[in-house]
Structure 1
Amino acid sequence: MPNNPAFGQADLTNCERELIHLAGSIQPHGLLLVLSEPQLLITQLSGNAESLIGTPAWSLLSQPLRELGGDIERQVRELAAASDLAEPAPLRCRVQVGGDTDEFEGAVHRVAGIGLLVEVEPAHPPRGGTEMVDIDSERLLKQLSGAIERFSAASTIGTLADAAVRSFRDLIGYDRCMVYKFDPDGHGKIIAEARDPRLESLLGHHYPASDIPQRARQLYLRNRLRVLVDVHYEPAPLLPRRPAGSDEELDMSMSYLRSMSPLHLQYLKNMGVTATLVVSLVREGRLWGLIACHHYAPRNLRFAVRAAADLMTEVISTRIAAIENYAHAQVAIQVRRLEQRLVEATSTEGDWRLALFRNPRTLLQPLDATAAALFYEGEVLTSGEAPSTPELRALMEWVDVQAFDDGLFSCSSVARENPALDSLTPTASGVLAVKLSTSRPDYLMWFRKEQLLSVTWAGDPSKPVVGNDPMELSPRRSFAAWSEIVRGTALPWSTGEQALARAFGHSLIDIIVQINAVRLLIAEHQLTQIRSTVEHSKEPIVVADAERRALFANDAFFALAGRPRESRPTLDEMATLFTEPKIVRSVLNTLALERQPWRGDLALDLGEGRTRAVAVRAEVVPARDGSVLGYFLIFADLTESQRAEAARRHLEQSLTRGEADAAAPSRTPNDSDELINAIFANASLAAMDIADGNASPSVAPLLEELEASTRRAASLYGLIRRFGGS
């Protein structure tokens, strides 16, 4: 297939499509076998069998697995019977080597339509061979417990990343350990590093997305831990090249011994790197980043140590989700406080916009923006280092005709999208805009300057950064490529920042709806204009006069209530839309008598036995003479928050059961108890951080993912105890 170069046939122009999962060879420190079922006949194997077990590869083809001696056949049959093996299952067995049986460890998984793929390597390589990191169980569990405690204590991504690289270097002793984070465009940045002091630092360096092709990223999601023992290895080819009876190459996506792309190996050689460990950081099913460890001599890891690295990364991933979600919750708290100030400013100063821009830090810092502008009712207000008003109006006219995603527009290079706006690059290369009205060009926009980065490189500064040979890949060349890619652009807006902007915009829309609801009661001569704004709002709202006659209930309210629009019912009549009308009427009576706002949860009656939980916010609007002008009620659907609460309770029950099992009387307290307790404690802390102050639709999936991750971490803990080193 010309558009998809075969393994080893790619260059820099098409490496994105290289078929790296069809490698046809493995790293030679292990042995790969493909077995037909149910007989477990060897139909394909790596050509290095003789060097590892003393038996020529061709002599093993079409032979039963038991020909390898030891207990490998029994162990593989037990695994095949106990699981569908869609994911690799750990394997520990003995294999005949010469006249003795030696211990091997590895993994087994099933390849659809082919059979079982078995990978094993000597648990104890011969003296004088490649260095093997082997840590005894007691010390390994103690190191894991300490690492998880440090991860749980981290309150920012920066401190967590620093704790991660230190913990990995302490565990495996590689010369350099890094946390590599992806931005929304797929470019990478090293945000933390622990290294041998003799090495130059790569901290803060950026790399283009092309350094890790999309196929490789997909494999990092499926196969989360990869070890390269020696970059100078001679690949062991599969014999025969294709599985028996198949015209296709063997799919090695889940193979941990699979050969790596020659381009990637050359990249490492150009850096002087000999051995690597790469573990995926996954959040909400997406590749958030990588933990990449480099060593400058051949090095391998026992399976228990690999499981420990995998477990640490799993805990780090849950902590990333908790920290980022908690940060969003804190911003949501700031937004609610801002909402109060804006409403108060409307009452005391008559203009909420002044309060919005009174404290620039509140508006700019959450989104790491350098400036902001509000376009409202034909006027422009700015904060920070913003472009001139004519430039802003030209930008607004361009933004107004762009496609919006749920009221949000994002761009990291305005000049690239519209060269006529090139003058904006120094102050507003990137723009993030939220729509505040469906009937007018009202927007809140944040801006970022062009990203400029200078790096001091070790070595000869006159040495060319980019050579003519496409195999001259290196961090220096990659940085030059990245610099060229991002010239004239701002730092891209992350998905998290876009979500925050969208939430900020929705809150501001809510504020505007509230203020316009007040205007409806204060100035009836503005009623037509304000009614249009409220009518098109997505926020369900009901406005009533002092006699509790509903002056207005928007379409969003009737859609929420699941009823057709009615003509100005009283609040008492609206009470019948709820499952408990008496309680609603009681609330309304109390509201009128005590003249205090009320907040609470109620249930709408949708008919046919269906209900919908809603949060209700009821406000009294006082007149200057102390009387009551009227009321407004704002509603919010609680369906997602209830789902999140159910997920939280399920997680708590799961953690409680897990802790009870860990504390069973039959067990004697030891370091392993401390480890499993640390895992549950980290999960509990992460759950609190995720759920705290946030009722967005993402909370329930996050809690469900946290539960699955904790179960996986506990499973890895069991693997460590079973496969623990000497």
Structure 2
Amino acid sequence: MENKTTALQYSGEKNYDSDFCGSIPLHQINLIQPHGLLLVLDKSLHIRQVSENISDLLDLAPEAILEQPLASFLPETELKDLQLKLSREQRLELEQVDIPFSLTFGTEDNSQVFTATVHPEADQILIEMEPAQRENDKSFLSFFQQIKYITSHIKQAEGTEAIAQVVADEFKQFTGFDRVLVYRFDPLWNGTVIGQAKTEDMSDLLGLRFPASDVPKQARDLYFKNPYRLIPARDYEPVRLYPILNPITRRFTDLTSCNLRSVASVHLEYMGNMGISASMSVPLILEGKLWGLISCHHKTPKYPSYQERTAMELLSTIAAVRLGSYEKEQLATMQAHKRGQYATMMEQLFTQDFFSEALLHGKPNLVELLSLDGAAVVYEGNVQTVGKTPPVQKIKELASWLRRNSSDKTYVTNSLPQAYPNSKDYKDEASGLLAIPINPDQGEYIMCFRGEVLQTVNWSGNPDQAIRKEPDGKSYHPRNSFALYQQTVQLTSLPWRQEEVEAAEALRSAVLSKIIREKY
């Protein structure tokens, strides 16, 4: 795939998290993929709904097994084991626990061994079944050793990108997918590829950003219900449930918990545009939040075994723990350093005669504490500065604008020219502003400045063309280009971290305390 570079200049971050894509009820599609079958049971374990492909897999007509007890199709020992586990889940009041099973399903004349996942729900029980694959190519011991080996590699990696690259390399080696990507979501849910392992003939996506509409909100939410999303063959024919309406709920069956759930046709088109026939993705969830995804692509149909999928679930959890641990370590180190600086500044603040001297010229000063380019104190008609700042008159005008347009809370922006166009004249000094109010009614502030930082964002395709709607306004298509598309972000500074804003607000309290002590 040939990459073409197009430059687009804009200020600020555009939100590509499409409300249109995010509103599609993916869990109520009422269709499944054909590599397995689905049973819907009532609480008495009678079959009330079934996927129509049971006739292909077991030569049983869907209508022939409806209203029949599950006991008619399972060996007694397996049925008792299932009943025991279901009663245990109910007794312990465990919520939505998926139960893995090996089930021999069918009649005396025609039965088959399936790998099954049982989803107990409030009013019904869903059973997903896939024909069991032979796993004799790997003994349990060799499989366990392989998982242990991969785990040790992940745990030894240092740095977010380094961990992501190890995960990509090991997943590709373990699964045999043609390409494995690890990408991280930003605050606007765009995903940037930070780790990649691929065959030579697959396109290079490392470092590229994918718009949030590629994984819309509905799809992101489902990752908390499903441990993975697998599409083994893009050109499959979806299978309907019989009857169409669930007799228990009298509406479409909620397939939120089902891995067999069919996917939206637009996503299959997306895969085709990407040149892949099979995909599997597992989430990276850190502290209850979706941090990123491990996404696997294959040019031809691919059916990873239940054993492999379970291992991928486990490894993704281990990777998420390692990523979270590393980022916590980095944050703790940075916070400890900042706390030391802050404590020294507080000592200076209360031992020096003028608070502005402590803030602007102490060791450390405000510029060092908050990683600024410059700072100013507007107080009692005077303007004092340090570092790179706008001219004094411009600072006074900015203070007047803040007095008219902001509340008595700390004002934070990393794109001041968007909010205050007059500041474009000094974007190099103050594209970012954190303004700490001292006496906002009088236009008195501590101003923290960050200059413009030009950022080139490498998108995988034009994000403004991620969705192409038909003239009817209802049908739509995904983009068909994943070539490099560059955007230059102007009139913005580096973003303000939450801990920096919190430090600034704590500083405000100390300054006000100092002023009150001096005056009274």
Range of TM-score over shorter length: 0.7 to 0.9
Aligned partner of residue 298 in structure 1, secondary structure:
coil
Give me the whole-angstrom Cα distance separating, in 1, the residues matched to 2:108 and 2:400: 79
Contact in 2 for aligned 1:174/1:294 (Cα 8 Å): yes
State the shift of 1:403 in Å: 6.2
User: What is the CA distance between 1:430 and its match in structure 2?
Assistant: 4.7
RMSD of aligned alpha carbons: 3.8
Structure-2 change in CA distance of 1:465 and 1:509 (3 Å) = closer
Q: Distance in 1 between matches of 2:220 and 2:257?
A: 13
Q: How does 1:327-338 map to 2 (within 5 A)?
A: 327-338=330-341
Name the counterpart of 1:64. Answer: 69
Q: Report 1 or 2 for greater relative contact order, CA contacts < 8 Å, sequence distance ≥ 6.
A: 2
Quote the residue 2:361 is aligned against: 354
1:304–1:331 Cα change, 3 Å:
same
For the 8 Å contact 2:361–2:386, the answer to whether it is kept is no
**1:257: Cα distance to partner?**
0.7
- What are the within-5 Å matches in structure 2 for residues 373-384 of structure 1? 373-375=375-377, 377=379, 378-383=382-387
> Deviation of residue 22 (structure 1)?
0.3
Supply the distance in 1 between the matched residues of 2:137 and 2:24 (Cα, whole angstroms). Answer: 35
Secondary structure of residue in 2 paired with 1:83: helix
Question: How far, CA to CA, are the matches of 1:23 and 1:466 in structure 2?
Answer: 21
Partners of 2:156 and 2:88 in 1: how far apart?
A: 38
- Alignment match, 1:105: 115
CA 1:34–1:454: 2 relative to 1, 3 Å: closer
How far apart are the structure 2 equivalents of 1:99 and 1:156? 58
What's 1:619 paired with? Answer: none
- Corresponding position: 1:280 with 2:283: yes
Report Cα offsets for 1:601-644 as digits up to 9, x if no partner: xxxxxxxxxxxxxxxxxxxxxxxxxxxxxxxxxxxxxxxxxxxx
For 1:89, the aligned partner's letter is I
Q: 1:154 aligns with which of 157, 176, 180?
A: 157
Give secondary structure in 2 for the equivalent of 1:91. strand
Q: Deviations over 1:278-300 (max 9, x none)?
A: 11122232211111111211112
Residues 149 and 35 (structure 1 numbering): CA distance in 2 closer, same or farther, change over 3 Å?
same
The question of whether the paired residues in 1 share the 8 Å contact of 2:228 and 2:280 is answered with yes
In 1, Cα distance between the equivalents of 2:454 and 2:231? Answer: 34
Cα distance in structure 1, aligned partners of 2:429 and 2:248: 63
Q: Whole-Å Cα distance in 2 between the matches of residues 491 and 240 of structure 1? A: 58
Q: 2:88 & 2:142 partners in 1: Cα distance?
A: 31
Residue 47 (structure 2) pairs with residue 42 (structure 1): yes
Compute the displacement of 1:223 (Å): 2.0
Superposition TM-score, scaled by structure 1 size: 0.59
Bigger fraction of residues in helix: 1
Q: 1:448 to 1:171 in 2, by over 3 A?
A: farther
Question: How far, CA to CA, are the matches of 1:294 and 1:151 in structure 2?
Answer: 21
SS at match of 2:340: helix
Which AA in structure 1 matches 2:413?
Answer: C
Aligned match of 1:411: 413
Corresponding letter in the other structure for 1:354: H
Kindly report which structure 2 residues correspond to 1:198-597, keeping only aligned pairs within 5 A, or say none: 198-339=201-342, 341-342=344-345, 351-352=357-358, 353-355=360-362, 363-364=370-371, 371-375=373-377, 377=379, 378-383=382-387, 388-399=391-402, 408-423=410-425, 428-433=430-435, 441-445=444-448, 447=450, 449=452, 452-453=455-456, 455=458, 470-474=476-480, 476=482, 483=487, 488=490, 490=492, 493=495, 498-506=497-505, 508-509=507-508, 512=511, 516=514, 527-528=518-519, 531=520
Q: Contact conserved, 1:415 with 1:424, CA < 8 A, in 2?
A: no
Structure-2 change in CA distance of 1:187 and 1:331 (3 Å): same
Aligned 8 A contact 1:425 1:488 in 2:
no
CA contact (8 A) 2:42 2:248 kept: no
Letter in 1 for 2:498: A
CA change 1:74–1:230 in 2 (3 A) is farther
CA 1:236/1:390 → structure 2, altered by over 3 Å: closer, same or farther? farther
- Overall identity of the aligned pairs, in %: 23
Q: How far, CA to CA, are the matches of 1:269 and 1:204 in structure 2?
A: 22
Counterpart for residue 52 of structure 1? 57
1:87 to 89, 93, 97: 97
Q: Retained in 2: the 8 A contact 1:229–1:276?
A: yes
Q: Which runs of 5+ in 2 are unaligned?
A: 1-17, 471-475
Query: Could you give the per-residue CA deviations for residues 151-194 of structure 1, whole angstroms, max 9, x where no partner exists?
Result: 33334222222222122222212121112211112222112212
After superposition, the C-alpha distances for 1:648-703 in whole angstroms (9 at most, x for unaligned) are xxxxxxxxxxxxxxxxxxxxxxxxxxxxxxxxxxxxxxxxxxxxxxxxxxxxxxxx
**Structure 1: where are the runs of 5+ without partners?**
1-11, 126-131, 521-526, 532-726
Structure 2 Cα separation of the partners of residues 275 and 80 of structure 1: 33
Q: Paired residue for 2:133?
A: 124
State the Cα distance separating 1:246 from its structure 2 match: 3.4
Name the aligned partner's letter for residue 45 of structure 1: V
Which residue of structure 1 lines up, in the alignment, with residue 32 of structure 2?
26
Q: Which has the larger radius of gyration?
A: 1
Q: Secondary structure at the match of 2:195?
A: strand
Q: How many residues align?
A: 484
